[in-house]
């Protein structure tokens, strides 16, 4: 991939194991990295973020080539992968660290995020009002190495087999039919 044309986006849609695994399968995505943003502590650990006391969200930083996959397509995937009407939770994962959030770099990206929220909400994919937070990106902290590619390394771990695996299969079916996935 031509590194000169790559852009990044950071967002959170619940557990980063689900989100990261799916985005790494998309054509045009160079890397999806699990991490933390939006908190008040430098270099937080997973254990600290899980307490909810640092203010961080579990997020994924996506590095992508916009000539292959657009910001709007990434937002469509983002809103497919999580329920943006659930405040501070995704399913049984409860806490501010699981909030729906898009971190933007500048005013233009904020406007694109606002538009993506409007488009997704108008689609009727999710019933209810979206609670997705928009916030300026201050810092992205990569999660510990064992979180990177966690599902691929631990597909039989109970949470992965019960929650992550089925979500990935649903994602693969839908976006595979659209021709958006890398060849396996």
Question: Which positions are annotated as active-site residues?
Answer: 15
DSSP state of 106: S
In 56-176, where do the E strands start and end? 57-64, 89-90, 93-94, 100-104, 133-136, 141-142
DSSP state of 172: H
Q: Which two tokens stand for residue 17?
A: 């194991």
The enclosing H or E element of 12 equals strand 7-13
List C-alpha distances in Å: 32 to 5, 52, 61. 16, 23, 6
Helix 16-23 × helix 71-81 angle, to 10°: 140
CA distance 16 to 30: 17
Decide if 58 contacts 15 (C-beta within 8 A): yes
């Amino acid at each position: 991939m031509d590194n000169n044309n790559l852009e990044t986006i950071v967002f959170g849609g619940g557990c980063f194991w689900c989100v990261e695994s799916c985005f790494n399968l998309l054509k045009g995505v160079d890397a999806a990295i699990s991490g933390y943003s939006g908190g008040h502590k430098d270099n937080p650990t997973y254990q600290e973020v899980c307490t909810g006391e640092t203010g961080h969200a579990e997020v994924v930083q996506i590095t992508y080539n916009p000539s292959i996959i657009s910001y709007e397509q990434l937002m469509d995937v983002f809103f497919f992968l999580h329920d943006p009407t659930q405040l501070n939770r995704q399913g049984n994962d409860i806490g501010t660290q699981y909030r729906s959030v898009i971190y933007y770099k500048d005013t233009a990206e904020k406007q694109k995020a606002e538009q993506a929220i409007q488009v997704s909400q108008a689609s009727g994919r999710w019933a209810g009002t979206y609670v997705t937070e928009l916030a300026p990106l201050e810092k992205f902290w990569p999660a510990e190495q064992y979180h990177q590619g966690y599902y691929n390394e631990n597909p039989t771990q109970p949470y992965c087999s019960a929650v992550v695996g089925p979500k990935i299969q649903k994602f693969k079916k839908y976006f595979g039919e659209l021709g958006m996935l890398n060849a396996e």
